[in-house]
């Protein structure tokens, strides 16, 4: 165990991954345009939004390392998960908006990228694999649920305004269709906008660990920030982003997500 990797072990057939809420810049602060810019694309407060998960018996794996240091939800080979579409890399050098992250000449070298991969990416995935296998030893089916959020409007990444709920199963390849339909029904019943396998079909975690034939059913849930935060217009500036976490404002979304995780767990238990 490390000081940046937090694990809460449960026994329910539910593994919750929280890969993008980290704000630890691992000592690269002085190489960035600004530490604030290095944290702007964080999945803000997702760990707080899902703080009910352990109470459901879920196993929760959470990294505090910023995605600016290394993105544990990207293909480690460097291949794009969304060919032909704009996306960020394993060790990004620009923000979602295309702003440079590093001072000129301070970008990570190939050797440094390899070191970050070994130091942070590999342990995170080894832990997910260990926990998934442990739970599979207890249950015939395990749901791997990867938690994310993103700003509602990001013209460089997608057109228009993102739906509130964005469920990804890599076009049905990473989870049983019955589970996908079950979660889809709950999203529809919330009255919020939603899409299944739209712009976000699931990142590396969902695609790597999802193996329905082997009993591993992976879902990625990408939430638009407005669903649980008082999201400001625009791309966020140091004086208005991130907004503080407001548990009362987020409570309705937390209740909807809890219903989704409870239903997924019940489905896995058969």
- Reading the block at residue 121, the tokens are 């990416």
Query: Which of 138, 135, 150, 117 has its CA nearest to residue 220?
Result: 150
> What does each C-alpha distance from 220 to 35, 169, 171, 247 come to in angstroms?
28, 7, 12, 23
Token pair in block for residue 243: 């907004």
pLDDT at 2: 80
Percent of the chain topping pLDDT 90: 90
Task: Report the length, in residues, of the chain.
Answer: 270
Report pLDDT for 235: 85
pTM over 0.85: yes
Q: What residues contact 113, with CB distance under 8 A and at least 6 apart?
A: 70, 90, 91
Which residues have CB under 8 Å from 53's CB, separation 6+?
Answer: 14, 16, 60, 261
> Is a pLDDT exceeding 60 seen at residue 99?
yes
Please tell me whether residue 46 adopts helix, strand or coil conformation: helix
pLDDT of the residue at 231: 96
Identify the pLDDT of residue 80: 63
CA distance readout (Å), 192 to 82, 178, 224, 228? 26, 21, 11, 12
Whole-number pLDDT of residue 108: 96
Question: Is residue 148 within 8 Å of 164, Cβ to Cβ?
Answer: no
pLDDT band, very low/low/confident/very high, at 16 (cuts 50, 70, 90): very high
pLDDT tens string 157-213:
888 999 999 999 999 999 999 999 999 999 999 999 999 999 899 999 999 999 999
Q: Left (φ > 0), alpha (ψ -120 to 50) or beta: where does 84 sit?
A: left
pLDDT, averaged across the chain: 95
Average pLDDT of the residues in 66-95: 82
Question: Under the phi-then-psi rule, with left for phi > 0, alpha for psi from -120 to 50, and beta for the rest, what region is 124?
Answer: alpha
Closest CA relative to residue 32, chosen from 99, 121, 90: 99
Per-residue DSSP letters for 85-145? S----SS-SB-TTS-B-BPTT-SPPHHHHHHHIIIIIHHHHHHHHHHHHHHHTT-S-EEEE
Distance, in Å, from the CA atom of 248 to the CA atom of 174, rounded to the nearest integer, reads 34
Q: 142-150 and 165-168: which strand pairing?
A: unpaired
């Amino acid at each position: 165990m490390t000081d940046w990797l937090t694990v809460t072990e449960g026994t329910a057939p539910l593994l919750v991954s929280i890969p993008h809420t980290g704000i630890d810049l691992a000592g690269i602060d002085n190489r960035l345009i600004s530490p604030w810019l290095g944290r702007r694309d964080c999945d803000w407060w997702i760990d707080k939004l899902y703080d009910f998960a352990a109470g459901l018996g879920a196993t929760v794996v959470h990294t505090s390392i910023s995605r600016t240091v290394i993105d544990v939800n990207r293909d480690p080979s460097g291949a794009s998960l969304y060919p032909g579409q704009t996306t960020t890399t394993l060790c990004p050098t620009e923000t979602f908006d295309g702003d440079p992250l590093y001072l000129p000449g301070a970008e990570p070298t190939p050797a440094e990228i390899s070191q970050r991969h070994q130091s942070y990416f590999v342990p995170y995935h080894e832990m997910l694999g260990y926990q998934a296998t442990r739970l599979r030893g207890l249950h015939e089916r395990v749901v791997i649920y990867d938690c994310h959020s993103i700003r509602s409007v990001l013209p460089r990444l997608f057109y228009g305004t993102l739906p509130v709920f964005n469920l990804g199963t890599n076009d049905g390849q990473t989870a049983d269709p019955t589970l996908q339909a079950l979660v889809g029904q709950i999203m529809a019943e919330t009255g919020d906008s939603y899409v299944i396998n739209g712009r976000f079909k699931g990142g590396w975690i969902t695609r790597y660990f999802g193996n329905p034939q082997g009993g591993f059913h992976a879902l990625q849930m990408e939430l638009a920030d407005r669903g649980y935060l008082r999201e400001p217009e625009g791309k966020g500036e140091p004086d208005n982003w991130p907004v503080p976490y407001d548990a009362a404002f987020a409570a309705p979304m937390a209740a909807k997500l809890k219903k989704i995780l409870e239903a997924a767990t019940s489905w896995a238990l058969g």
